[in-house]
């Protein structure tokens, strides 16, 4: 059996944790499996490297950032390989380049365009374990190293599992599966045995960082058998992320997600005429700023108020873009002490009253909802950040997710 295993930052966070990972791999090798292991940088390492860069510049050159950040994963891959070889297990480490991963040249957020598996497959003939440094590839145009966005080792693992037609892709982390909400916020959260790709994609996109959202998108596209489980308790079965038709029970609400990295931008007294929204949002899109929720209201005075949200990381670039529109508005304000709580569930499609239950739950706690947006399988609300954890717990309760 060919297994792709991915070990996240805390799973390789210390030398002892790397020893533990080597033991997990050894069990599979003893059972006769072939292993491709994808590793993250040791926990805290990527943030430390980012901090180093910020000492020299508040806007570091992106392609140099990728050179810098990709080093963290290479360290872990080599250390794990050294550990395995010392245990008489034939292992070889590889960078993203050696693993044949080519991307576009969108540095720090590159997309995988192609995987040439030749080298990997050849090496699997001579080694029982290949350890790939996660989160990186090379640009097909410039041959420079690129990185795949935060949490990108998940994507490396899923993409390799797809390209190699592996039997399974197991993502080892510090929780033993996907829960109804972040178990660090709500200890009453329940582990799910299975969850659909679509629900997992929504949860991940809406802030549940247990899986990178792009990796879930790729798993769905390539139909990868994806499992989330813990390297701390590898004997416990994790959660299977699978097609909706493989799930018998479809609860109305499957989970609650929280995203703290949100800024609400408010534009007041905007002239109410055609073309304003178009020029603002085109300018933001041209700068690769990911606008999420948008609300526009027109008052009796014929003036418009426009509220929208952006990721915290895009705040400085958004301010720069918005300077151009200062003349079209009375005031623009930026509120970064907000967060987004979301309810996700495929069963919502066929149920009424799901949204009102959420609003009632938050009202009971006196939490004001600033923006609401809905889709077929989710409801998102922008609220003050100080209520984030309370809101998650209240919503978890309202939908009886602990039952
Ligand atoms: P890794 O370093 O292994 O990639 P991450 O820190 O990226 O791990 O993701 C694991 C964390 O995701 C958990 O520690 C947990 O706090 C958080 N998390 C958020 N939402 C959920 C959820 N619904 N189920 C499980 N974990 C969640
Ligand atoms: N080390 C990278 C990060 O911290 C990638 C990963 O861990 O998946 O985001
Ligand atoms: Mg992660």
Closest ligand 1 atom, CA of 256? 23
Of 241, 135, 147, 130, which is closest to residue 192 (Cα–Cα)?
A: 241
Q: Would you give the end-to-end CA distance of the chain in angstroms? A: 37
pLDDT surpasses 90 at 255? yes
How much is the pLDDT for 86? 98
Fold type of domain 256-398: VC0802-like (3.30.2130)
How much is the pLDDT for 36? 98
pLDDT surpasses 90 at 199? yes
State how far the Cα of 35 lies from the Cα of 132, in Å rounded to an integer: 11
Q: Is 213 in the pocket of ligand 1 (CB under 6 A)?
A: no
Q: Give the number of other Cβ atoms within 10 Å of residue 387's Cβ.
A: 18
Q: With respect to CATH, is domain 2-174 assigned 3.40.1160.10?
A: yes
pLDDT surpasses 80 at 250? no
State how far the Cα of 10 lies from the Cα of 17, in Å rounded to an integer: 8
Q: How confident is the model at residue 328 (pLDDT cuts 50, 70, 90)?
A: confident
Strand order in the sheet with 101-103: 112-115, 101-103, 136-139, 145-147
Closest ligand 2 atom, CA of 155? 8
Q: How confident is the model at residue 188 (pLDDT cuts 50, 70, 90)?
A: very high
Distance (Å) from CA 225 to ligand 2 centroid: 22
Instruction: Return mean pLDDT, the chain.
Output: 95
Q: Is 175 in the pocket of ligand 1 (CB under 6 A)?
A: yes
pLDDT surpasses 90 at 288? no
> Is 256-398 in the same CATH topology as 2-174?
no
The ligand that comes nearest to the alpha carbon of residue 212 is 3
Ligand 2 binding pocket, CB closer than 6 Å: 8-9, 40-41, 46, 72, 134-135, 150-154
Label residue 218 exposed, middle or buried (CB < 10 Å: 0-12, 13-18, 19+).
buried
State how far the Cα of 45 lies from the Cα of 48, in Å rounded to an integer: 5
Q: How confident is the model at residue 287 (pLDDT cuts 50, 70, 90)?
A: confident
How much is the pLDDT for 313? 86
- Residue spans of beta strands (DSSP E) within 118-189: 129-133, 136-139, 145-147, 168-173
* Model pTM above 0.85: yes
Distance (Å) from CA 137 to ligand 2 centroid: 14
Q: Are strands 331-344 and 294-298 parallel, antiparallel or unpaired?
A: unpaired
State how far the Cα of 126 lies from the Cα of 122, in Å rounded to an integer: 7
Q: How confident is the model at residue 347 (pLDDT cuts 50, 70, 90)?
A: confident
Q: How confident is the model at residue 251 (pLDDT cuts 50, 70, 90)?
A: confident
How much is the pLDDT for 93? 98
State how far the Cα of 153 lies from the Cα of 161, in Å rounded to an integer: 12
How much is the pLDDT for 299? 81
User: For residues 89 and 34, is the Cβ–Cβ distance under 8 A?
Assistant: no
The string of pLDDT tens digits covering residues 95-139 is: 999 999 999 999 999 999 999 999 999 999 999 999 999 999 999
Helix segments in 213-353, DSSP class H: 213-222, 276-286, 315-322
Bridge partners (DSSP) listed for residue 170: 5, 227
How much is the pLDDT for 301? 82
CA-based torsion, 136, 140, 145, 147: positive or negative: negative
The string of pLDDT tens digits covering residues 155-174 is: 999 999 999 999 999 999 99
State how far the Cα of 388 lies from the Cα of 256, in Å rounded to an integer: 11
pLDDT surpasses 90 at 175? yes
Distance (Å) from CA 236 to ligand 3 centroid: 19
The ligand that comes nearest to the alpha carbon of residue 152 is 2
Q: Give the number of other Cβ atoms within 10 Å of residue 351's Cβ.
A: 10
pLDDT surpasses 80 at 357? yes
Q: Are strands 378-384 and 371-375 parallel, antiparallel or unpaired?
A: antiparallel
- Min mean pLDDT across 70-74, 110-114, 316-320 is at 316-320
> Domain coordinates of the chain in residue numbers?
2-174, 256-398
Say which residue the tokens 């910020």 belong to: 54
How much is the pLDDT for 51? 97
Say which residue the tokens 């050894």 belong to: 26
How much is the pLDDT for 135? 98
Q: Whose CA is nearest to atom 9 of ligand 2?
A: 150
Q: Are strands 2-7 and 34-39 parallel, antiparallel or unpaired?
A: parallel
Share of residues in the chain with pLDDT > 70 (%)? 100
**What does residue 12 show for φ and ψ, rounded to 5 degrees?**
-125, 25
Mutation to probe ligand 2, out of 65, 145, 153 (largest number of atoms < 8 A from CB)? 153
Of 232, 158, 234, 246, which is closest to residue 194 (Cα–Cα)?
A: 246
How much is the pLDDT for 303? 86
Average pLDDT over every residue of 147-152: 96
Name residues with Cβ closer than 5 Å to ligand 3, which is an ion.
8, 151
- Collapsing DSSP to helix, strand or coil, 260 comes out as strand
Average pLDDT over every residue of 339-347: 95
Distance (Å) from CA 216 to ligand 2 centroid: 16
The string of pLDDT tens digits covering residues 10-60 is: 999 999 999 999 999 999 999 999 999 999 999 999 999 999 999 999 889
From residue 71, give the alpha-carbon distance in Å to each of 41, 57, 136, 239: 8, 19, 10, 31
Distance (Å) from CA 321 to ligand 1 centroid: 33
Closest ligand 2 atom, CA of 73? 1
Task: Select the more confidently predicted residue: 136 or 244.
Answer: 136
């Amino acid at each position: 059996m060919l297994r792709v295993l991915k070990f996240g930052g805390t799973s390789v966070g210390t030398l002892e944790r790397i020893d533990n990972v080597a033991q997990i791999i050894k069990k599979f090798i003893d059972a006769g499996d072939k292993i491709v292991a994808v590793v993250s940088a040791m926990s805290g390492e990527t943030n430390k490297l980012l901090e180093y860069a910020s000492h020299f510049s508040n806007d570091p050159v992106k392609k140099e950032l990728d050179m810098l950040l990709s080093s963290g994963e290479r360290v872990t891959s080599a250390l794990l390989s050294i550990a395995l070889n010392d245990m008489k297990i034939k292992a070889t480490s590889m960078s993203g380049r050696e693993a044949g991963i080519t991307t576009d040249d969108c540095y720090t957020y590159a997309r995988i365009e192609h995987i040439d598996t030749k080298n990997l497959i050849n090496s699997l003939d001579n080694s029982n374990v290949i350890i790939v440094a996660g989160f990186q590839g090379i640009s097909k145009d410039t041959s420079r190293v690129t990185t795949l966005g935060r949490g990108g080792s998940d994507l490396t693992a899923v993409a390799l599992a797809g390209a190699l037609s592996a039997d399974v892709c197991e993502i080892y982390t510090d929780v033993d599966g996907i829960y109804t909400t972040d178990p660090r916020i709500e200890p009453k959260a329940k582990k799910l045995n299975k969850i659909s790709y679509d629900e997992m994609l929504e949860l991940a996109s809406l802030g549940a960082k247990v899986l990178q959202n792009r990796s879930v998108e790729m798993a769905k596209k390539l139909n990868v058998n994806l499992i989330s489980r813990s390297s701390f308790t590898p004997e416990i079965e994790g959660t299977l992320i699978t097609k909706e038709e493989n799930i018998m029970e479809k609860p109305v609400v499957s989970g609650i997600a929280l995203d703290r990295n949100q800024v609400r931008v408010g534009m007041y007294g905007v002239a109410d005429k055609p073309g304003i929204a178009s020029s603002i949002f085109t300018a933001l899109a041209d700068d690769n700023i990911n606008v999420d929720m948008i609300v526009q209201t027109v008052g009796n005075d014929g003036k418009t108020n426009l509220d929208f949200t952006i990721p915290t990381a895009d705040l400085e670039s958004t301010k720069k873009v918005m300077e151009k529109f200062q003349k079209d508005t009375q005031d623009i304000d930026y509120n970064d002490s907000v967060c987004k709580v979301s309810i996700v569930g495929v069963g919502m499609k066929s149920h009424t009253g799901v949204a009102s239950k959420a609003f009632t739950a938050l009202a009971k706690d006196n939490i004001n909802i600033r923006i609401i947006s809905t889709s077929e399988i989710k409801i998102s609300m922008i609220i003050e950040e100080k209520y984030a954890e309370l809101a998650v717990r209240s919503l978890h309760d309202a939908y009886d997710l602990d039952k």
